[in-house]
């Protein structure tokens, strides 16, 4: 009898702990960084989109998040606990601390800040894309930045004409970064529904332009078109209530493609037919895995995407800041660089913070990832 009472007591204590944990998680997920789902007129517009079906956005091609033969729990266990050699660099990544506020306005440039955050200047107009300078996860220790990739902060940015947000995942949309950038940003261009988060965080509704795939907006002789991507969205357990997109920027002289996060699909061929020549293509390269092969482009598919788009120049992003997949931190650059040499691809490899003047001749960059001597395992 005493033993039964003891077991029952332990059971109720454990149950209480679980309930407290659930309640704590619920209230934590109501905090500002988790954003706000679309509602009202914004939701009505979303429901009219041809890409919104049965209560969620869908890809052009049927897409599954899990493509391997392992269960979701097995994949999660391996992600959390499996050892991978050199998953993270054990030394700071090489970088350049550029004075971004004093680069002449008449020079076209690209500056990368690691992962998918970068600054563009195209024909005198500045674009800041998916800036994540503070945290790429609900809790920073879940997704800490590599040393050397965390050297830029919101205060280092110049005034921004257009903040471009490709989708609302944490590693592309950082609440603290956005809050600090609001005074610097004139307008925001984003995918349909994502403006709900941004308005909730402090942007005025008239500053935000949300686009569905193949919708175009014109601002002072700058054309911005939202184009398809093959991915998903969501900042909580509720997924695909906002859209994900790639974008094309067109000025009188240049055409720049912002690839966003995407698996491979035939729309790259369609984009190439519609927009030529493409001066610069900025494409995802990293965080790939056979277990989610349809939502993040695989190395061989990236080569094909570059061939499909046929850009005059290409740079790759979505690497060198976070460890979100089980590959060595420098594997994306090693593979793509080798493919570029083999296939004669117009790849350029500026390091973090290094200014790439992408319309000024053949600027040379080294294989900066080879300079990181991190032969020990992580």
pLDDT at 84: 80
* Closest listed residue to residue 191, CA positions, set 338, 52, 31, 378: 52
Pick the residue with more confidence: 68 or 286?
286
pLDDT at 139: 82
pLDDT at 204: 98
**What residue segments make up the domains of the chain, in order of their start?**
100-371
pLDDT at 37: 97
pLDDT at 143: 82
* Closest listed residue to residue 67, CA positions, set 278, 289, 291: 291
* Closest listed residue to residue 283, CA positions, set 227, 222, 240: 227
pLDDT at 376: 45
Buried b (16+ CB within 10 A) or exposed e, 26-50: eeeeeeebbbebbeeebeeebeeee
- For the stretch 11-29, pLDDT in tens is 667 766 767 766 665 655 6
The answer, yes or no, to whether residue 228 has pLDDT greater than 80, is: yes
Q: Average pLDDT, stretch 38-50?
A: 98
- Beta strand pairing call for 160-165 and 125-129: parallel
pLDDT at 20: 72
pLDDT at 9: 65
Question: Is the whole model's pTM more than 0.85, yes or no?
Answer: yes
* Range 220-226 contact pairs with CB under 8 angstroms and sequence separation of 24 or more: 220/125, 221/251, 221/252, 222/122, 222/123, 222/125, 222/162, 222/249, 222/250, 222/251, 223/248, 223/249, 223/250, 223/251, 224/162, 224/164, 224/189, 224/248, 224/249, 224/250, 225/250, 226/191, 226/192
Pairwise CA distance, residues 189 & 217, whole Å: 9
pLDDT at 69: 73
Which of 72-81, 184-193, 204-213, 289-298 has the least mean pLDDT? 72-81
The fold of 100-371 is Metallo-beta-lactamase; Chain A (3.60.15)
Which of 34-48, 76-90, 340-354 has the least mean pLDDT? 76-90
Which of 14-28, 135-149, 179-193 has the least mean pLDDT? 14-28
pLDDT at 1: 58
The answer, yes or no, to whether residue 318 has pLDDT greater than 60, is: yes
Pick the residue with more confidence: 81 or 351?
351
Q: Average pLDDT, stretch 50-55?
A: 97
């Amino acid at each position: 009898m005493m033993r039964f009472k003891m077991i029952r007591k332990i059971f109720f204590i454990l149950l209480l702990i679980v309930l407290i944990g659930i309640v704590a998680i619920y209230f934590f997920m109501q905090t500002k960084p988790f954003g706000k789902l679309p509602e009202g007129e914004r939701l009505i517009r979303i429901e009219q989109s041809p890409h919104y079906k049965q209560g969620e956005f869908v890809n052009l091609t049927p897409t599954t998040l899990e493509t391997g033969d392992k269960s979701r729990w097995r994949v999660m266990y391996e992600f959390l606990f499996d050892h991978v050699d050199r998953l993270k660099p054990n030394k700071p990544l090489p970088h350049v601390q550029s004075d971004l506020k004093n680069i002449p306005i008449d020079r076209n440039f690209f500056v990368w800040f690691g992962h998918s955050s970068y600054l563009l200047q195209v024909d005198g107009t500045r674009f800041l894309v998916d800036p994540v300078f503070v945290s790429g996860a609900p809790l920073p220790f879940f997704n800490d930045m590599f040393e050397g990739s965390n050297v830029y902060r919101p205060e280092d940015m110049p005034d921004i004409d257009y903040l471009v947000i490709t989708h609302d995942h944490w590693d592309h949309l950082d609440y603290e970064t956005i809050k600090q950038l609001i005074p610097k940003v004139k307008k925001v261009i984003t995918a349909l529904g994502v403006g709900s988060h941004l308005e909730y965080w402090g942007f005025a509704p008239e500053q935000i332009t949300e686009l569905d795939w193949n919708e175009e907006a014109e601002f002072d002789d700058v054309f911005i078109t939202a184009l398809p991507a093959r991915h998903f969205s969501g900042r909580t357990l509720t997924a695909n209530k906002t859209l994900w997109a790639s974008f094309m920027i067109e000025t009188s002289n240049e055409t720049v493609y912002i690839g966003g996060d995407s698996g491979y699909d035939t729309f790259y061929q369609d984009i190439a037919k519609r927009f030529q020549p493409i001066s610069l293509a900025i494409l995802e390269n990293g965080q790939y895995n056979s277990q989610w092969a349809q939502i993040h482009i695989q190395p061989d598919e990236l080569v094909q995407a570059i061939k499909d788009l046929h850009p005059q120049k290409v740079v790759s992003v979505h690497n060198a800041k976070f460890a979100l997949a089980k590959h060595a931190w420098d594997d994306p650059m090693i593979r793509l660089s080798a493919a570029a040499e083999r296939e004669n691809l117009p790849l350029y490899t500026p390091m973090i913070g290094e200014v790439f003047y992408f319309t000024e001749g053949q600027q040379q960059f080294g294989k900066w990832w080879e300079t990181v001597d991190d032969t020990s395992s992580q």
